[in-house]
Amino acid sequence: MPRGAVPLWRQLHVRVALIVVAGLVLLSAALLLIARHYSALSSLEATQRMNLGIARYIVDHQDGTLIDAQGNADRARMKALALHVMMINPSVEVYLLDREGRVLAHALEGLQGPDPVGSTVDLAPAQALLNTPVDVLRFPVLGDDPRRAGARNIISAAPIAAADAPPGVLPGAMSGYLYVVLNGQALQGVTASLANSDAQREMLIGLLLATGVAAVLLVLVLRKLTRPLRELTLQVQAFRPDAQRGSGPATGDEIEQLARATQAMRERIDEDFARLDEANRLRRELVSNISHDLRSPLASIQGYVETVLLRGNQLDEATRDQHLRTALRHINQLDRRVADLFELSKLDAGRVEPQCEVFCMAELLQDVVQSYQLAAQQCGVKLALAAGSHAQAKVRADIALIERVLQNLIDNALRHTPQDGDVTVALDAAASQIQVSVTDSGSGIAREHLPHIFERYWQASDETGTHPGASAGLGLAIVKRILDLHGSVVRVRSELARGTRIEFGLPQAG
Ligand SMILES: Nc1ncnc2c1ncn2[C@@H]1O[C@H](COP(=O)(O)OP(=O)(O)OP(=O)(O)O)[C@@H](O)[C@H]1O
Ligand SMILES: [Mg+2]
């Protein structure tokens, strides 16, 4: 998977499509269940409506009564009836009930299971059937099934006249009911048969197909709809490519990605503003510092040159020489200051790209120490390369910038070390790092000053007094920025009146 690509199942359109399809499947299942329920009900209703008169028909076609004057069932008749019914409609079960609904007899051929005779049937549904006009009845009317305790089924019922009653004077003179369970063996089968019905199978297949087609259409439509979102995310991500870098495959759907990209963009904008503010502040500070710093050397140059020009013929040659030399020294300081400022502003603006190459650190140290010997002698300080600093360790760094670091450190050390003091440059090659240190036996730096010495323009308060115009507090700021560029950390150890050791490390090359 390409970096930054979202796995298919996490993409927004696929997720939404999956949710909608799951909803559709649930809806289809609910529809199927409802359809099954109502088709079972309507099938029962149709059967009941069709066979509503069956009980009355059976009673009317008996040439005698089924219950005698003592309330006993005529079992012979019932048996004959059973055969009849069996032949005409085997799914129908005929029972003879007394007035309270107790089963007196049945017309079930080859009965299996418990004998229903003696059990009681709730008469309310039967009476509802008998006493309510058909157009008002709510079908299907379900009554107790005497053979199956607790089960209910569609029924037909008719009253049976008492043996001695004159014909036609029902219901007062009745001896019981003929109670017909219309759907006897078939009831449990109704739902089962409906489940297997072709119509339902076709409906199921239709629903599945429709759901499938809907899912595909949804994915396509949603994909099209969410494309602008993905494009927007890409555009926002492009704002901060570094935030995406190294993050491996993207996580979250498009909206989560967009949220992250927007957050990264906001951070980037905040950083840019902070950088701009800082750059502005530095620029303002720089301008005021430069004008302040350059004024005093310029003033003294101006003073000496004017003196030579105006009073040249009154001065002896040695004094004139001396004045011009002093002016030249100030010009050199000025030159150095401007160069430092220029270098620091380039470093601050990130315009310095280190030109790294592999070189032998010991050789560089030797060269720099050599070039400072004269200055050291003038200060009366012993400047030396520590014994054992001749290892052939190689580093990969910008040689000119590292040379600048060493110059600034040695320059500071010489300036802060009294006569007869020592300044030692040392190289320590460990396994993967080489450590370079400049140690002096000079004045040291007060503990509370240590956190500030790398700030630009920072100098200990006594500094400007002792060497007016000689230094500007830029040297260590330049050191810090150059070492930052090399990913190196600079460490300082110092003790007042004992000396200072400034050290940095660089990775060994090869
Ligand atoms: N070896 C040292 N011993 C004592 N103090 C030091 C030493 N190195 C630096 N400092 C202190 O840190 C301050 C900052 O040093 P930094 O090199 O930045 O400026 P500077 O030497 O004063 O001026 P510049 O380097 O621009 O000529 C110095 O002014 C000094 O107070
Ligand atoms: Mg310095």
Residues 233-251: b if buried by 16+ CB within 10 A, e if exposed: beebbeebeebbeeeeebe
Asked if the model's pLDDT at residue 406 lies above 90, the reply is yes
SS3 at position 423 = strand
Among left, alpha and beta (phi > 0; psi -120 to 50; other), residue 60 is: alpha
**476, 496, 500, best to mutate for ligand 1 pocket (most atoms within 8 Å of CB):** 476
Res. 473 pLDDT band, cuts 50 70 90:
confident
Rounded to the nearest angstrom, the distance between the alpha carbon of 435 and the centre of ligand 2 is 20
**Which stretch, 277-291, 331-345, 415-429, 466-480, has highest mean pLDDT?**
415-429
Among left, alpha and beta (phi > 0; psi -120 to 50; other), residue 90 is: alpha
**412, 417, 423, 502, best to mutate for ligand 1 pocket (most atoms within 8 Å of CB):** 412
Residue 88 backbone dihedrals phi, psi, to 5 degrees: -80, -50
Asked if the model's pLDDT at residue 146 lies above 60, the reply is yes
SS3 at position 66 = coil
Can you read off the two tokens belonging to residue 241?
A: 């490519």
Asked if the model's pLDDT at residue 246 lies above 60, the reply is no
Rounded to the nearest angstrom, the distance between the alpha carbon of 472 and the centre of ligand 2 is 8
Res. 81 pLDDT band, cuts 50 70 90:
confident
Handedness of CA 320, 321, 324, 330 (dihedral sign): negative
Q: How far is CA 177 from CA 89, 198, 302, 436, in A?
A: 20, 39, 140, 118
Atom number in ligand 1 closest to CA 336: 27
The C-alpha atoms of residue 150 and residue 114 are separated, in whole angstroms, by 14
Residue 114's contacts (CB-CB under 8 Å, 6 or more residues apart) are 147
**54, burial (CB in 10 Å: exposed 0-12, middle 13-18, buried 19+):** buried
Q: What pLDDT was estimated at residue 38?
A: 85
Atom number in ligand 1 closest to CA 340: 26
**444, burial (CB in 10 Å: exposed 0-12, middle 13-18, buried 19+):** middle
Residue 495's contacts (CB-CB under 8 Å, 6 or more residues apart) are 444
Q: What pLDDT was estimated at residue 235?
A: 87
Rounded to the nearest angstrom, the distance between the alpha carbon of 411 and the centre of ligand 1 is 9
**Contact status, residue 393 vs residue 360, Cβ threshold 8 Å:** yes
H helical segments located in 349-467: 361-371, 373-379, 399-415, 463-466
Lowest mean pLDDT among 99-103, 143-147, 390-394, 425-429: 390-394
Q: What pLDDT was estimated at residue 108?
A: 79
**Contact status, residue 340 vs residue 472, Cβ threshold 8 Å:** yes
Residue ID of nearest Cα to ligand 1 atom 20? 473
The C-alpha atoms of residue 499 and residue 91 are separated, in whole angstroms, by 117
> Distance between alpha carbon 393 and the CA centroid of its chain, in Å?
48
Res. 397 pLDDT band, cuts 50 70 90:
very high
- The sheet with strand 490-495 has its strands ordered as 382-385, 422-429, 433-440, 499-507, 490-495
Which residue in 174, 36, 37 sits closest to 98, CA to CA?
A: 174
Q: What pLDDT was estimated at residue 250?
A: 63
Rg (CA), the chain: 55
* Percent of the chain scoring above 90 in pLDDT: 39
Q: What pLDDT was estimated at residue 186?
A: 47
Digit-coded pLDDT (tens) for 4-30: 566 777 788 888 888 888 988 898 889
pLDDT, average across residues 460-476? 69
Residues paired with residue 427 on neighbouring β-strands, in sequence order: 436
Within 6 Å (CB) of ligand 1, which residues are found? Answer: 340, 408, 412-413, 416, 440, 442-445, 453, 458-460, 463, 471-477, 500
Digit-coded pLDDT (tens) for 328-343: 999 998 898 888 888 8
Rounded to the nearest angstrom, the distance between the alpha carbon of 328 and the centre of ligand 2 is 21
Q: What pLDDT was estimated at residue 377?
A: 96
Rounded to the nearest angstrom, the distance between the alpha carbon of 490 and the centre of ligand 1 is 15
pTM of the complete model: 0.52
The C-alpha atoms of residue 424 and residue 502 are separated, in whole angstroms, by 11
The C-alpha atoms of residue 248 and residue 235 are separated, in whole angstroms, by 19
Atom number in ligand 1 closest to CA 473: 19
Res. 414 pLDDT band, cuts 50 70 90:
very high
The C-alpha atoms of residue 113 and residue 240 are separated, in whole angstroms, by 82
Which residue in 432, 425, 354 sits closest to 394, CA to CA?
A: 432
Rounded to the nearest angstrom, the distance between the alpha carbon of 351 and the centre of ligand 2 is 22
Task: Please name which ligand lies nearest the alpha carbon of 443.
Answer: 1
Can you read off the two tokens belonging to residue 396?
A: 């990969």
Residue 131's contacts (CB-CB under 8 Å, 6 or more residues apart) are none
**471, 478, 492, best to mutate for ligand 1 pocket (most atoms within 8 Å of CB):** 471
